[in-house]
């Protein structure tokens, strides 16, 4: 095992105490006195006990957020909000290695990959700091009789409930917090119960940065209790959710109580299309990591790999070979390329799909079953898996697995593959690999998804919007479009006569 001493040391945050919730600038226990356990998915080791917040704790957090929004926070100027976000960015950068270790311990992300994402994570926070100074409305020339000044103003929407997933805790946390601060909102954040540690540590950094009490609140707990109350709370103005479309549907129904504003980044079953004229030396690792990155626990993973028939056998074999050579193991090992699945529940889900695929007649070229030998037996490990002989109607080709599982499907024509790529209830991501720029442009325009990568995959820029079509959700994260999700538009009509 190749490690770096600063990654191998147990973070001071894991001091054996029950991790408390952040409400109104103070660290508090759950009102009901309950807590839950969180485990290392690579070893099964107990990491910490965490306060189990429920509806009563959410009520207290929302009340604190409302007081802050109606009180001192409303008087903060854009440059003051910007300075706070920049302080938070500096602290995240200063403690970045520790935060990455927490992500690895709590959900398994390989530290060698997360360390490389420093600029993406810290850069996103700094991007939203800049956006705090870039919020503006517009004046509108009036057509009314008489003398009127007319304008459209932008105002913060108010109290935001943010519910984040477990597959990238650090990035999801800092992104949700920084955009809310940039827009002038206050926030109640509900981390995923599978990986709550990094969000709680970021809460400590928020206080250190000087963010006022009540502006950022973090309530750890379960979706069925804390998440449900936050979604239905009548004093929450907006829900920003990232997660499965099943949970998204529940949130949409719950939000009707006060017709909340919603932004929903939901699941996907993204097509990744490889044409025969692609640069295969780049397309093979690109297509493989479109799914195997983060053990396939990425909402936009390119799990439906459509390959032009002329190169199908060669390409599938090469992707399978790439996957079979990947280093699977404990994420703290710097040589690990793919870590464990986040939980035993997720392990069961993925291994069930492996069985379903083979029962339906698909052939596992590589992988196909859980890893259990030696140290693997203590963790939630599934190897990179490539299925061939897959048809569009198989469950492994239609349902989101959220694991390192590729369904390789042949195609013959452009029109055919576009139609098949779009034959899904999802529309989050997609990829096109070809040397023909004209073909790439035409195919990308015809794929019905929020993002299409050409000769690349899962490349993110904080200034570029990201979100879904169809059951992959609505609203956008990234860019000015993201900030606008946290703002209201107010018309001003002023009689100057």
CATH 3.40.309.10 maps onto the chain at 271-462
Q: Is the pTM of this model over 0.85?
A: yes
Please name the residues in contact with 371: beta carbons below 8 A apart, sequence gap of 6 or more: 328, 381, 382, 383
> Which fold, 5-266+472-492?
Aldehyde Dehydrogenase; Chain A, domain 1 (3.40.605)
Residues serving a catalytic function are 265
* Cα–Cα distance list, 407 to 166, 262, 345, 464, 473 (Å): 24, 32, 22, 29, 23
Beta strands at 453-454 and 216-218: parallel, antiparallel or unpaired: unpaired
Largest CA distance in the chain: 83
d(CA 169, CA 9): 20
Nearest Cα neighbor of 440 from 278, 203, 294, 254 is: 278
CATH 3.40.605.10 maps onto the chain at 5-266+472-492
**What is the residue-level pLDDT of the chain in tens, covering all 497 positions?**
565 656 767 899 999 999 999 999 999 999 999 999 999 999 999 999 999 999 999 999 999 999 999 999 999 999 999 999 999 999 999 999 999 999 999 999 999 999 999 999 999 999 999 999 999 999 999 998 889 999 999 999 999 999 999 999 999 999 999 999 999 999 999 999 999 999 999 999 999 999 999 999 999 999 999 999 999 999 999 999 999 999 999 999 999 999 999 999 999 999 999 999 999 999 999 999 999 999 999 999 999 999 999 999 999 999 999 999 999 999 999 999 999 999 999 999 999 999 999 999 999 999 999 999 999 999 999 999 999 999 999 999 999 999 999 999 999 999 999 999 999 999 999 999 999 999 999 999 999 999 999 999 999 999 999 999 999 999 999 999 999 999 999 999 999 98
Please name the residues in contact with 419: beta carbons below 8 A apart, sequence gap of 6 or more: none
Burial environment of residue 459 by CB neighbours within 10 A (0 to 12, 13 to 18, 19 or more): exposed
Q: Tell me if the domain spanning 271-462 has CATH number 3.40.309.10.
A: yes
Please name the residues in contact with 103: beta carbons below 8 A apart, sequence gap of 6 or more: 109, 114, 168, 169, 170, 195, 198
Tally of residues, the chain: 497
């Amino acid at each position: 095992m190749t490690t770096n001493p600063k990654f191998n040391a147990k973070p001071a945050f894991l001091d054996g105490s029950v991790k408390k919730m952040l409400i109104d600038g103070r660290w508090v226990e759950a009102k009901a006195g309950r807590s839950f356990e969180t485990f290392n998915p690579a070893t099964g080791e107990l990491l910490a006990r965490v306060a189990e917040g429920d509806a009563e704790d959410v009520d207290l957090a929302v009340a604190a957020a409302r007081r802050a929004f109606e009180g001192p926070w409303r008087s903060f100027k854009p440059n003051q909000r910007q300075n706070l976000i920049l302080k938070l960015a500096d602290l995240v950068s200063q403690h970045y290695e520790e935060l990455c270790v927490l992500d690895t311990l709590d959900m398994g992300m390989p530290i060698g990959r997360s360390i490389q994402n420093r600029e993406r994570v810290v850069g996103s926070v700094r991007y939203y700091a800049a956006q705090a100074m870039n919020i503006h409305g517009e004046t509108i020339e009036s057509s009314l009789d008489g003398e009127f000044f007319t304008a459209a103003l932008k105002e913060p929407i108010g109290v935001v409930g943010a519910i984040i997933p477990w597959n990238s805790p650090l990035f999801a946390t800092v992104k949700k917090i920084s955009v809310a601060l940039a827009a002038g909102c206050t926030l109640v954040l509900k981390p995923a119960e599978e990986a709550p540690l990094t969000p709680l540590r970021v809460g400590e950094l928020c206080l250190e940065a000087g963010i006022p009490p009540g502006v950022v609140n973090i309530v750890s707990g379960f979706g069925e209790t804390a998440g449900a109350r936050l979604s239905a709370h009548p004093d929450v103005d907006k829900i920003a959710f990232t997660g499965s479309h099943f949970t998204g549907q529940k949130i949409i129904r719950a939000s009707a109580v006060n017709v909340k504003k919603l932004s929903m980044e939901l699941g996907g079953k993204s097509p990744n299309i490889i044409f025969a004229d692609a640069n295969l030396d780049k397309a093979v690792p690109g297509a493989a990591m479109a799914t195997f990155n983060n053990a396939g626990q990425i909402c936009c993973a390119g799990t439906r790999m459509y390959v032009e028939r002329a190169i199908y056998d060669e390409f599938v074999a090469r992707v399978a070979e790439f996957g079979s050579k990947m280093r699977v193991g404990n994420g703290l090992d710097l040589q690990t390329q793919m870590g464990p699945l986040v939980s035993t529940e997720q392990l069961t889900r993925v291994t069930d799909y492996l069985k379903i695929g083979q029962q339906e007649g698909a052939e596992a070229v590589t992988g196909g079953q859980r890893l259990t030998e030696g140290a693997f037996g203590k963790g939630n490990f599934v190897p990179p898996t490539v299925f061939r002989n897959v048809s569009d109607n198989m469950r492994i080709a239609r349902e989101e697995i959220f694991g390192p599982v590729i369904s390789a499907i042949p195609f013959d024509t452009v029109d055919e593959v576009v139609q098949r790529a779009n034959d899904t209830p999802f529309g989050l991501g997609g990829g096109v690999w070809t040397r023909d720029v004209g073909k790439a442009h035409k195919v990308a325009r015809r794929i019905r998804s929020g993002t299409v990568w050409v000769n690349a995959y899962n490349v993110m820029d904080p200034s570029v919007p990201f979100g879904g079509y169809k059951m992959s959700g609505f609203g956008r994260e990234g860019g000015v479009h993201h900030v606008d999700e946290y703002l209201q538009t107010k018309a001003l009509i002023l009689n100057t006569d």
